[in-house]
Structure 1
Amino acid sequence: MTSHRRPPRTLTTPALGPVLGPVLTAALITGLLAGCSDSASRGEKLAERAPTPTATPTLPVEREESAQIGSYVALGDSFTAAPLVTAPADDDGCLRSTNNYPTLVAEALGADLEDRSCGGAETGNLTAPQRTFAGTVPAQLGALDADTDLVTMGIGGNDFGVFATLVRCAELGVDDPDGAPCTERFGDAGAAELDQQLAIIGERLTASIEKVRRRAPDAEIVVVGYPRVIPPAASCPELLPLASGDRDLVAGLNRRLAAVQRQVARETDVRHVDLYAASASHDVCSEEPWVNGRATVPGHALAYHPLATGQRAAARLVLDAVEQD
């Protein structure tokens, strides 16, 4: 957990933290991406089912006026925690960066922050403890109370190993770059199963938002979506060894997961940061990526996880959402 209150400031480029040891790095990867090899048997036909993203929102550079927010609670998984962007803020195994977007938002607003995001978190960990490689952390919703002014939620991709499926499919191209190894593992039954799982994730997110409202009835709630990891057309094997025949499949999964969050936010009438749309020119293969490629580099980012640039962009978008009329 991270708690602080600082004067409002303009977002600046965060410095990279010290390099973490190899043992910690190995443990982190094992904990956050466990189950990848078993999850590649789910789903197909994603591209045609996925909605087209909306226009990219503008990214404000400075915050001249801050919303009156005193207490801010961040809920989420590794895309909120931003592991390895810097050394972790705590030693609880969640690997929250000291320059993740919740920290940047809290600093810009001058708000007290309770950052409960944790690598590997599922929606169930909002209400139940989570085991990490360093121990057990309490349920994330425990940080909420009637005085909470702002809640951000970025979670759902670890349920049913959906994000692990995406990563596993991306890696299968190492041995079969011109084939479709992931697609060949799917079938109609797998497609139906993944459809079911994504629908359940939506239901869980909806239920979670209602639980947040009960615990923090006066809080502004912002659902923060997942960014674009997989480009729809570009190829960069050194960063993303995705087989050519699996591109539509995996890009569609990325798009659909973001779409679930977008739909839930709309149906529950909460704010939404459409990070997928905003990152249309910032995928892994782009010149200015917001997400890391396949190489884990402590002080830079975990493989296929947010970079410092992506966290700064997410912070700006959250601030923009909070300051809407």
Structure 2
Amino acid sequence: MRTARPLRLLLGFLVATTVALLGSVPAQAAESAAGASAYAESTYAENYVALGDSYASGVGAGSYDSASGDCKRSNNAYPVLWKNAHAPASFSFTACSGARTGDVINNQLGPLNSGTSLVSISIGGNDAGFADAMTTCVLQGESACINRINQARTYIEGTLPGRLDAAYNAITARAPNAQVVVLGYPRMYKLNGGCIFGISERSRAAINGASDLLSDVTAKRAADHGFAYGDVRPTFSGHEICSDSEWLHSVTFPIGDSYHPTAAGQSGGYYPVFNALA
């Protein structure tokens, strides 16, 4: 997509120059210029690599690629939805359930090279210990939940920025010409929603607050690296747990799907945000 723009600009310049010199442009010449520009746009295709954790691999969305094993890469995940819609020249899907920033650096960057034109990544939640925090909140009550969430907040503010920097630097080093799109995380709960049972409202608010902090820190690090950031909180608004139209699993079976987007969350929450930026 980016390589087509210089050609369009050049064609536009040539047309404008012809107008200035001759006073008019024959219809056939104008149509030829427009056709060449459209051809350049249509024949350019991305070389796309999708990195990240379970929110990128599509845990909770079903229809998993059996070859992906424990990484649980879903055919309903937003990277696959984008690939199906845009038919990039190449597509590599290395996102993996449970991944942290170090796993991205050590295990997921193999497909990246100077020809990579588009990279997506969702990462940071596992570094911050959100899975453990959610387990604590569900099993150990409000006091333990708040304490564990506060630990996560301390990590997000103090340690996570450096971990994100390391992952983002590694991506840039291997794919210096790529547009990188960083996707954040949704809020888990609709406060004062329809949930009668489960964790307390104070615990839900604390979880949402930590999720907001994670999103804000991630957005800042992405911006400082020149990456695009996709905030999915607006698209998930009204679709959190305890809403009337949930796009996130609460505690469910299999247990690993808990607190992950459903197929609707991937298609309605993540995909449009990524598609607008890619």
Shift of 1:276: 2.0
Shift of 1:68: 4.1
In structure 2, C-alpha distance between the alignment counterparts of 1:245 and 1:100, rounded to whole Å: 31
- Cα deviation digits, residues 151-197 of structure 1 (max 9, x gap): 0010111014234213431x137xx5xxx3335646xxx84774244
In structure 2, which of residues 171, 189, 195 is the aligned counterpart of residue 212 of structure 1? 171
Are the structure 2 counterparts of residues 319 and 306 from structure 1 closer, same or farther at C-alpha, using a change threshold of 3 Å?
A: same
Q: SS of the counterpart of 2:129?
A: helix
In structure 2, C-alpha distance between the alignment counterparts of 1:267 and 1:255, rounded to whole Å: 18
- Alignment check: 8 A CA contact 1:172 1:182 kept: no
In structure 2, C-alpha distance between the alignment counterparts of 1:199 and 1:276, rounded to whole Å: 23
Give the corresponding residue for 1:277: 234
- Cα deviation digits, residues 46-81 of structure 1 (max 9, x gap): xxxxxxxxxxxxxxxxxxx98943211000111111
Q: SS of the counterpart of 2:121?
A: strand
What amino acid is the match of 1:168?
A: T
Q: Which has the larger radius of gyration?
A: 2
In structure 1, which of residues 95, 113, 117 is the aligned counterpart of residue 72 of structure 2? 95
Unaligned 5+ residue runs, structure 1?
1-64, 129-138
In structure 1, C-alpha distance between the alignment counterparts of 2:73 and 2:228, rounded to whole Å: 23
Give the corresponding residue for 1:24: none
- Cα deviation digits, residues 271-309 of structure 1 (max 9, x gap): 1110123312211112222211111259xx811111111
Say if 2:96 is the partner of 1:118. yes
Q: SS of the counterpart of 1:223?
A: strand
- Alignment check: 8 A CA contact 2:101 2:163 kept: yes
Shift of 1:215: 0.7
Say if 2:245 is the partner of 1:288. yes
Q: SS of the counterpart of 1:142?
A: coil
| Percentage identity across paired residues of the two chains | 29
In structure 2, which of residues 175, 198, 204 is the aligned counterpart of residue 247 of structure 1? 204
**What pairs with 1:1-325 in structure 2 (closer than 5 Å)?**
68-89=44-65, 90-111=67-88, 112-128=90-106, 139-169=107-137, 171-172=138-139, 180-183=142-145, 185=147, 191=150, 194-237=153-196, 241-296=198-253, 302-313=257-268, 314-322=270-278
Shift of 1:266: 2.0
Normalised by the size of structure 2, how large is the TM-score?
A: 0.76
Higher helix share: 2
Unaligned 5+ residue runs, structure 2?
1-40
In structure 1, C-alpha distance between the alignment counterparts of 2:156 and 2:265, rounded to whole Å: 27
In structure 1, C-alpha distance between the alignment counterparts of 2:68 and 2:183, rounded to whole Å: 25
Q: SS of the counterpart of 2:49?
A: strand
- Cα deviation digits, residues 218-256 of structure 1 (max 9, x gap): 111000111121223325145xx1123323222211221
- Alignment check: 8 A CA contact 1:166 1:253 kept: no
- Alignment check: 8 A CA contact 1:228 1:282 kept: no
Are the structure 2 counterparts of residues 66 and 163 from structure 1 closer, same or farther at C-alpha, using a change threshold of 3 Å?
A: farther
Are the structure 2 counterparts of residues 237 and 317 from structure 1 closer, same or farther at C-alpha, using a change threshold of 3 Å?
A: same
Shift of 1:145: 0.9
- Cα deviation digits, residues 76-99 of structure 1 (max 9, x gap): 111111124223212431011111
In structure 1, C-alpha distance between the alignment counterparts of 2:42 and 2:124, rounded to whole Å: 29
